[in-house]
A = this chain, B = another copy of it.
Amino acid sequence: MIPETINGKKVIPFKGVGKYKPTGRKYAPKISTSADYPLDGNKLVDSLKDALIKSGIKDGMTISTHHHFRDGDLIAVQIFDIAHEMGIKDLVWFPSASFTCHQPLIKYLEDGTIHHIEGSMNGPLGKFTTQGKMKGVGILRSHGGRYQAVQDGEVEIDIAVIAAPTADPFGNSNGVNGPSACGLLGFALADSQYADKVIVVTDNLVPFPCIPWQIHGNYVDYVVKVDQVGIPEKIVSGTTKITKSPDRLLIAELTAKFCEEAELIYDGFSFQAGAGGTALSIGIYFGEIMRRKGIKARFARGGSNKYLVDLLEEGLVEYILDGQTFDLDGVRSMRDNPRHVNTSPFTSYNYHGKGNFEGILDVVILGATEVDVNFNANVVTHSDGYLLHGIGGWQNCLFGKNVILPIPLFRDRIPVIRDEVTTICGPGELIDIIVTERGIAINPLRKDLINKMKNSKLPIKTIQQLKDEAEKICGKPKAIEFEEKIVAAIKWVDGTVIDVVKKIKE
Residue of B nearest to A31 (CB): B22
Query: Does A445 sit within 8 A of B, measured CB to CB?
Result: no
Interface residues of A in 304-348 (CB under 8 A from B): 319, 321, 338-339, 341, 346-347
Segment at the interface with B among A242-250, A351-359, A413-421? A351-359
Contacts of A221 in B (CB 8 A): 354
Q: A184 vs B187: C-alpha distance in the bound complex, in angstroms?
A: 25
Segment at the interface with B among A103-111, A203-211, A230-238, A276-284? A203-211
* Contact A218 to B355, CB < 8 A, known contacts A35-B21, A360-B170: yes
Query: Does A217 sit within 8 A of B, measured CB to CB?
Result: yes
Query: Does A152 sit within 8 A of B, measured CB to CB?
Result: yes
**A170: shortest Cβ distance to chain B, in Å?**
7
* Contact A355 to B37, CB < 8 A, known contacts A26-B31, A30-B25, A31-B151: yes
Q: A26 vs B28: C-alpha distance in the bound complex, in angstroms?
A: 5
Interface residues of A in 347-402 (CB under 8 A from B): 347, 350-357, 359-360, 399, 401
* Contact A37 to B338, CB < 8 A, known contacts A170-B360, A216-B347, A319-B211: no
Interface residues of A in 229-277 (CB under 8 A from B): 268
Q: Which one of B20, B32, B39 contacts A354 once the chains associate, using CB atoms below 8 Å?
A: B32
* Contact A354 to B209, CB < 8 A, known contacts A28-B28, A216-B346, A218-B346: no
Contacts of A127 in B (CB 8 A): none
A160-191 interface bits toward B, Cβ cutoff 8 Å, 1 = contact, 0 = none: 00000000001100000000000000000000
Q: A346 vs B356: C-alpha distance in the bound complex, in angstroms?
A: 23
B357 adjacent to A41 (CB under 8 Å): yes
Query: Does A213 sit within 8 A of B, measured CB to CB?
Result: yes
Query: Does A141 sit within 8 A of B, measured CB to CB?
Result: no
A34 adjacent to B355 (CB under 8 Å): yes
Q: A25 vs B26: C-alpha distance in the bound complex, in angstroms?
A: 11
Q: A40 vs B356: C-alpha distance in the bound complex, in angstroms?
A: 9
Query: Does A499 sit within 8 A of B, measured CB to CB?
Result: no
Number of this chain's copies in the complex: 2
Contacts of A355 in B (CB 8 A): 34, 37-39, 41, 43, 170, 217-218
* Contact A21 to B39, CB < 8 A, known contacts A26-B28, A211-B319, A338-B338: no
Q: Which one of B22, B26, B341 contacts A211 once the chains associate, using CB atoms below 8 Å?
A: B341
Q: A22 vs B32: C-alpha distance in the bound complex, in angstroms?
A: 7
Residue of B nearest to A353 (CB): B218
B359 adjacent to A39 (CB under 8 Å): yes
A5-32 interface bits toward B, Cβ cutoff 8 Å, 1 = contact, 0 = none: 0000000000000111111111111111
**A268: shortest Cβ distance to chain B, in Å?**
7
Contacts of A151 in B (CB 8 A): 31
17 further A-B pairs in the complex, CB-CB below 8 A; given A216-B346, A216-B347, A218-B350 = A21-B35, A22-B31, A25-B30, A26-B30, A28-B28, A32-B352, A34-B354, A37-B355, A39-B399, A40-B360, A170-B357, A198-B354, A208-B360, A211-B341, A218-B347, A218-B353, A221-B354
Q: What would be 5 A-B contacts, judged by CB atoms less than 8 Å apart?
A: A22-B32, A25-B31, A43-B355, A211-B341, A217-B355
